[in-house]
Amino acid sequence: MKNWKIYSVIITVVLVLGIIGICVYTFAFRETVTEEEAKNIAIEYANVVESDVTILSINKDRGDREYEIRFYDDVYEYEVDVNYNSGRVRNFEKDIRDNINISENTTVSMTEEEARNIALQRVGKSHDEVTFTRIKIDRENGITVYDVYFYDNEKEYELSIDVATKQVVAYKEDYLSLNNSNSNSNNVNNNTINNNIVNNNTITSDKYIGTQKAKEIVLEHAGLTSNDVTFSKVELDVDYNLATYEIEFYYNYFEYDYEISAVTGEILKYERGR
């Protein structure tokens, strides 16, 4: 009889704990933010007006417990992830829209031959020294460019040339696979290339806010101080006349990832995750 009473108490305790667990789980993981509310949060966070944007998609990620919301306006495309329990923005990205539907018959103010000559002049080569593999017109970061691909005995090259200004706006060179032993000198050359791109920008480096100011901006946005965090990356990236600071740091087991304009300090990308 006593054993039965003991079993009854144990069963009752287990049931009560089970009910409490279900209630806690339901409370902690219930969806307190609707899809419409998440959309409004994303639009407000992006600092745009709803009538000015077009919603591309709103997807629910149950694994990360968030709404993934994508939309665009006349200039930018946005991606905002909103936690559907708390309504907090977990990820924010803002990129200049690319028009990838460039017609082959698009009229531009530069010929393919001009693009080849500009590319050759940039690398200091002649037609006889290289083999062209591809040249195409494209739309990248809001400008129309010729993408020119070719190689010589040592390296392969990839250049993007603004058809309006006839300036090289992106440059990349890699040693061919047979010359991997030259990887160290390749790194030196790439550093020189990056410096040249910065100097060739229409916005000069003296207009940049600087890494210290950039760090202050992202820390203020995160509600943290420099004593709270460990920075793992603070880099200036310049491509297509768009200069940004890419900043990553850690706090309390979370990783923060920011990309901000090097000129205005505007936050273009924000992500927080484990």
Q: Can you tell me the distance from the alpha carbon of 79 to that of 61, in angstroms, rounded to the nearest whole number?
A: 14
pLDDT along the chain (274 residues), means of 10: 64 69 54 88 92 90 88 86 90 72 58 93 92 84 83 87 87 63 39 38 67 94 92 81 86 90 90 80
pLDDT value of position 182: 41
User: Tokens at residue 249, please?
Assistant: 């740091």
Give residue 181's pLDDT: 37
* Confidence (pLDDT) at 31: 61
What is the structure's pLDDT at 168? 87
Q: Residue 155's closest CA among 121, 127, 178?
A: 178
Strands (E) across the chain are located at 54-61, 66-72, 76-83, 89-96, 131-140, 143-151, 155-162, 168-175, 230-239, 242-251, 254-261, 267-273
Tokens read off for 144:
């129309």
Instruction: Tell me what pLDDT residue 63 has.
Output: 80
- Whole-prediction pTM value? 0.50
The contacts found for 191-194 with CB under 8 angstroms, 24 or more apart, are 194/238
The pLDDT score that the predictor gives to residue 241 is 61
